[in-house]
Amino acid sequence: MPPLDNLKVIDLTRVLAGPFCTMMLGDMGAQVIKVEEPERGDEVRGWEPRVDGWSSYFLGVNRNKKSIALDLKDARDAAVLRALIAQADVFVENFKPGSLARLGFGYDDMAQLNPRLVYCSISGYGQTGPRSMLSGYDVVIQGEAGLMSITGQPDGPPTRVGIAISDYLAGLYAIQGILLAIMDRQRTGLGQRVDVALYDALLSAMTLHAGVIFQTGECPSRAGNDHASIAPYETFKGRDGSIIVAAGNPRLWTQLCAALDAEHLATDPRFATNADRLLNRTALKEELEARFQRFELDDLVARLAARDVPCGRVRTLAEALRDPQVNERKMVLTTPHAALGTVRSLGNPVKLSRTPAVVTLPPPALGEHTDEVLKALWSS
């Protein structure tokens, strides 16, 4: 059986962080009921691009869920949600702090209704603190948390990371918090609140840069594709594209020089130590790129790999998805879908040897399972 078989999750989330969290729980066997507003549902359903009326964004993070449509301002629908929560193990929401309490679904009320409930709240800035009442959107969090200040070229403007990184991190931390609370419940019989903030999650991922500030008082700046502490550990131009090289220690630096038939660089006083290479990075890049230009990119990667030098082509996402490694690792899944025929989505990266992730349900239509869920609820 999947590791989370029979774990009942009520999912009152939308957009990304929450749906990503509950999808991953569903992949591992949890029974996830996605509660949506009746008219439009999860707002991501309307986001472009759409194919045959289905948003690619929604399809990407909503498999392994059943959808029911409830209006929480309607007394009868609110009663249905309370009945569902009374039988649930986990409740996940990502409303602005205080919003659900005003509707009668705050943590205190739900803990009284179901003392075993693990109540997970995902928000921009958390349930406490002077910023707790602010809305949380990844692009804003990236700016406010300082990530943009260290992202981009040194002579360019602060730059947003190309994915909603704070949402994904918060979703992953929410999973961790939920599972920890379930482990505690096995000992105590009681649930608790899991409070995850996008802001906290993103800050936690910048521990190395924060360490520089804590230890030196200096604020790290943008370094582009260079590494602030290691060289060569960056991108270089080859004859027919870009390559990224990670020669992160003296042994790898020596092996890189040997792979390029440039052993003299390893003993060049300008590049003798990592500190020397950082000090003379411009000259180092010129020396290496002059040699990289002698090879086609595929040959260059093979040449460096033969010497165990970590390296790779700078590829598009489409190119990366075509890599045979993706198929071997089952990182692209194809699921039957009533409206679309099939849906492709990224697989679950957690590979369990005995109880692997499974896909049992394609992303649902709005309210697709309302009747089914209600029938099971009132018959239980």
Q: Which of 42, 167, 200, 226 is catalytic?
A: 167
51 with 78, same domain? yes
Q: How distant, in Å, are the alpha carbons of 18, 187, 209 from that of 134? A: 17, 36, 26
In a domain, 173, yes or no: yes
User: Which pLDDT score, from 0 to 100, does residue 378 have?
Assistant: 86
CATH number where 17 lies = 3.40.50.10540
Does the annotation count 167 as an active-site position? yes
Contact 114, 84 (CB under 8 A): no
> 214 lies in a domain?
no
**Residue 282 and residue 361 in one domain:** no
- As given in the structure block, the two tokens for residue 240 are 């027919």
- Is 218 within the bounds of a domain? no
Please indicate, yes or no, if residue 116 is contained in any of the structural domains. yes
Residues 163 and 240 both lie in one domain:
no
Residues 237 and 282 in one domain: yes
DSSP state of 148: G
Helical segments of 87-132, H only = 99-102, 107-113
Residues 144 and 253 in one domain: no
- pLDDT of amino acid 379: 84
Question: pLDDT tens digits for the chain (380 residues)?
Answer: 899 999 999 999 999 999 999 999 999 999 999 999 999 999 999 999 999 999 999 999 999 999 999 999 999 999 999 999 999 999 999 999 999 999 999 999 999 999 999 999 999 999 999 999 998 899 999 999 999 999 999 999 999 999 999 999 999 999 999 999 999 999 999 999 999 999 999 999 999 999 999 999 999 999 999 998 899 999 999 889 999 999 989 999 999 999 999 999 999 999 999 999 999 999 999 999 999 999 999 999 999 999 999 999 999 999 999 999 999 999 999 999 999 999 999 999 999 999 999 999 999 999 999 999 999 998 87
Q: Are residues 134 and 181 in the same domain?
A: yes
Buried b (16+ CB within 10 A) or exposed e, 93-130: bbbebeebeeeebbbeebbeebeebbbbbbbbbbeeee
* CATH number for the domain that contains residue 272: 3.30.1540.10
Spatial contact of 120 and 93, defined as CB atoms under 8 Å apart: yes
Cβ within 8 Å of residue 93, ≥6 positions away: 12, 13, 18, 100, 105, 119, 120, 121, 122
Q: Is residue 310 part of a domain?
A: yes
187 and 307 assigned to the same domain:
no
143 and 43 fall within a common domain: yes
What is the SS3 assignment for 61-96?
CCCCCEEEECCCCCHHHHHHHHHHHHCCCEEEECCC
Per-residue pLDDT, 50? 94
In the prediction, which pLDDT does 228 show?
Answer: 87
Distance CA 338, CA 30 (A): 22
Establish if 113 belongs to a structural domain: yes
Number of folded domains that form the chain: 2
Alpha helices by DSSP H, 205-262: 207-216, 250-259
Q: Are residues 150 and 243 in the same domain?
A: no
Same domain, 278 and 337: no
Instruction: Say if 273 falls within a structural domain.
Output: yes
- 189 in the same domain as 49: yes
Dump strand ranges (E) for 217-330: 233-237, 242-246, 311-313
Domain boundary among 294, 314, 334: 314
149 and 297, same domain (yes or no):
no
pLDDT at 117: 98
Q: Domain residues for 60?
A: 8-205+326-379
Q: What is the pTM of this model?
A: 0.94
The reply to whether 212 falls in a domain is: no
Residue 121 is given by DSSP the state E
